[in-house]
């Protein structure tokens, strides 16, 4: 007699990929929320300055006020993020950003904001971001296995850049209807929601870190990691120039060109939204394309980042500017995913945040100077000439980086795990070089080159603003 066969049990299809665990999902969701707010507040801040009677010089000073403390505290933030629980550092930084943006919103909505007040509040935002960025990047890198890193980083960046599209377009439209103050208030609320989400990160399985030799020893250890890798410090130097001039073009000249030639905030918000659309296209491409030479493919895609500055210099009509922003968004996303994959492959997990802080420090080191000098450069040479200069300063250091052998030679390791704890021996020429702290580039490298909001977070992340 035959025995009846049991019906096969049906397992419900998973709602997310097996590699996208709780922490990855929470980090992605929180980053989406903050990008919705911060991409609108980028435009809102510039127009708040202009509505209070400010000039291009004043916009540059407000932008510089944010990036100066960001640069000053990044290295300390990276060392602290490798010593304390990273999720607590992130939540505390989000709380500071929320309070400062809320105060900025109240100031704009209820009175006549003074330049020094706007500079002070954006400086507080920059301080919070300095502690947030290294902790966030270290936390994200530690949630993904080497086998799935390319797809995970591409999906993360696609999600947050998609939020940037909505944030930029909605922010530009809201400014035209209700003014910049309410957009800043939405950004403050976004930080509150994201901070609450990050408080639920599960750190029970994160291994305890061995106590180090103190803060200075941790900083020195992070610098050894950086200078022992020519590909790392050379790209860090490259982006110190690239991020500076792109920040000047997007944060200072962009709103001025929009006011004088494009018709106001809404077309500029649309152009930024097309940049975000391009980053989604780039992320979709990187979900399936895994170039063997990671950094070579990525660096070649930095050249199109000169196009928006050139488009503003002409200036192109809104549809033309949207087109070049779309192309540059695709290109920088290809670089960003390859950069994160390289970092994940080559840098030890317990040193992610320290190395990331040098990366951010170098990329942003020239930004306060570049944005502060944007107004004087416009007065001395003219706006169009200054923008052409920005385009040239994207192309030249990028071409120079291609001369570094490691940038051309580093190849993808199949199913590479997170790097071992010991760094490779430094080449003699590098090991003997004096320690000069002039380098670093936005970790979530496409967060480092997108237009940076007053309290922007990395999009995977950098001028997401890496």
Angle, alpha carbons 125-128-130 (nearest 5°): 110
Find, among 410, 56, 219, the residue nearest to 227 by Cα: 219
| Neighbouring C-alpha atoms within 13 Å toward the C-beta of 301 | 27
Q: Is 423 within 8 Å of 354 (Cβ atoms)?
A: no
Residue 427 makes CB contacts below 8 A (sequence gap 6+) with 228, 230
Dihedral pair phi/psi, residue 369, rounded to 5° = -65, -45
Selection from 378, 367, 453, 462 nearest residue 47 by Cα: 453
Other CB atoms within 10 Å distance of the CB of residue 385: 12
Predicted local confidence at residue 241, as pLDDT: 95
Burial 69-96 (b: 16+ CB within 10 A, else e): bbbebbbbbbbbbbbebbbebbbbbbeb
- Measured distance CA(377)–CA(365) in Å, rounded: 19
pTM of the model: 0.67
Give the separation between CA 153 and CA 344, rounded to whole angstroms.
10
**How many CB atoms neighbour CB 246 within 10 A?**
30
21: closest CA among 170, 154, 142?
142
Residue 67 CA neighbour count, 13 Å, CB half: 33
Write the DSSP assignment of 244-279 as a string of letters.
HHHHIIIIIIHHHHIIIII-SHHHHHHHHHHHHHHH
**DSSP string computed for 177-207:** HH-HHHHHHHHHHHHHHHHHHHTT---TTSP
Q: What is the pLDDT of residue 213?
A: 59
> Which helix (H) or strand (E) covers residue 386, if one does?
helix 383-401
C-alpha to C-alpha distance for 43 and 164, rounded to whole angstroms: 12
Alpha helices of 289-317 — where are they, by DSSP H? Answer: 294-300, 307-313
As a whole number of angstroms, the distance between CA 415 and CA 331 comes to 25
Are 351 and 209 in contact by the 8 Å Cβ rule? The answer is no
Report helix, strand or coil for 55.
Answer: coil
Q: Give dist(CA 406, CA 224) in Å, integer.
A: 17
With vertex at residue 440, the alpha carbon angle to CA 438 and CA 445, rounded to the nearest 5 degrees, is: 155
- Helix (H) and strand (E) counts in the chain: 19, 0
User: By three-state DSSP, how is residue 348 classified?
Assistant: strand
* Predicted local confidence at residue 210, as pLDDT: 58
Does 3 sit behind a cis peptide bond, omega within 30 degrees of 0 on the bond before it? no
Specify whether the CB–CB gap between 283 and 445 falls below 8 A: no
Q: What's the confidence (pLDDT) of residue 208?
A: 59
Q: How far is CA 426 from CA 295, 420, 438, in A?
A: 19, 16, 18
* 411/27 Cα distance (integer angstroms): 28
Q: What is the pLDDT of residue 450?
A: 39
Structure tokens at 34: 């903050």
Per-residue pLDDT, 134: 77
3-state secondary structure of 88: helix
Q: What is the pLDDT along the chain (466 residues), one digit of tens a residue?
A: 444 444 444 545 445 565 567 788 888 889 889 888 887 887 888 888 888 888 778 887 887 788 788 778 878 887 787 777 788 889 999 999 999 999 999 999 988 888 898 999 989 988 988 888 778 876 776 776 656 677 777 788 788 777 877 787 788 888 888 889 999 999 999 999 999 999 888 776 655 555 555 677 777 887 888 888 999 999 999 999 999 999 899 888 998 898 889 888 788 878 887 887 888 888 889 888 889 899 999 999 999 999 999 999 999 999 999 999 999 999 988 998 899 888 888 888 777 777 877 887 888 788 888 888 888 999 999 999 999 999 999 999 999 999 999 999 998 887 544 444 333 333 322 222 222 222 223 333 443 333 344 455 544 333 333 3
| SS3 call for 419 | strand
**Residue 133 · residue 360 · CB < 8 Å:** yes
């Amino acid at each position: 007699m035959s025995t009846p066969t049991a019906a096969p049990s049906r397992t419900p299809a998973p709602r997310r990929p097996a590699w996208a665990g709780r922490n990855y999902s929470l980090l992605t969701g929180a980053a989406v929320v903050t990008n919705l707010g911060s991409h609108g507040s980028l435009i809102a801040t510039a127009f708040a300055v202009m509505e209070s009677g400010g000039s291009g010089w004043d916009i540059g000073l407000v932008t510089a006020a944010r990036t100066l403390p960001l640069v000053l505290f990044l290295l300390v933030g990276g060392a602290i993020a490798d010593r304390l629980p990273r999720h607590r550092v992130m939540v505390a930084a989000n709380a500071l950003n929320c309070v400062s943006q809320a105060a900025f919103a109240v100031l704009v909505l209820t009175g006549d904001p003074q330049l020094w007040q706007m500079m002070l509040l954006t400086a507080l935002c920059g301080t919070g971001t300095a502690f947030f960025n290294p902790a966030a990047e270290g936390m994200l890198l530690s949630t993904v296995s080497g086998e799935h890193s390319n797809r995970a980083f591409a999906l993360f960046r696609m999600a947050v850049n998609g939020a940037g599209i909505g944030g930029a377009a909605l922010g530009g439209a809201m400014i035209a209807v209700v003014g910049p103050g309410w957009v800043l208030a939405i950004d403050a609320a976004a930080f509150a929601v994201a901070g609450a989400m990050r408080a639920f990160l599960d750190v029970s399985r994160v291994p305890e870190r061995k106590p180090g030799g103190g803060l200075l020893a941790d900083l020195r250890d992070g610098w050894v990691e950086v200078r022992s890798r020519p590909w790392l410090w050379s790209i860090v130097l490259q982006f110190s120039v690239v991020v500076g001039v792109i920040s000047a073009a997007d944060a200072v000249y962009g709103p001025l060109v929009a006011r004088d030639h494009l018709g106001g905030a809404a077309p500029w918000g649309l152009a930024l939204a097309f940049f975000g659309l391009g980053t989604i296209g780039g992320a979709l491409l990187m979900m399936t394309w895994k170039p063997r030479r990671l950094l070579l493919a990525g660096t070649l895609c930095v050249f199109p980042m000169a196009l928006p500055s050139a488009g503003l210099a002409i200036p192109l009509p809104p549809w033309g500017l949207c087109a070049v922003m779309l192309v540059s968004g695709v290109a920088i996303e290809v670089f960003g995913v390859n950069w994160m994959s390289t970092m994940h492959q080559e840098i030890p997990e317990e040193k992610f945040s320290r190395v990331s802080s040098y990366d951010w420090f170098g990329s942003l080191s020239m930004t306060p100077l570049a944005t502060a000098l944007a107004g004087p450069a416009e007065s001395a040479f003219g706006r169009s000439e200054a923008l052409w200069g920005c385009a040239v300063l994207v192309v030249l250091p990028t071409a120079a980086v291609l001369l570094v052998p490691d940038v051309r030679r580093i190849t993808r390791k199949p199913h590479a795990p997170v790097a071992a704890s010991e760094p490779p021996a430094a080449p003699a020429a590098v090991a003997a070089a004096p320690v000069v702290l002039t380098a670093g580039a936005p970790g979530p490298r496409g967060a480092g080159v997108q237009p940076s909001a007053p309290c922007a977070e990395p999009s995977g992340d950098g001028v997401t603003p890496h």
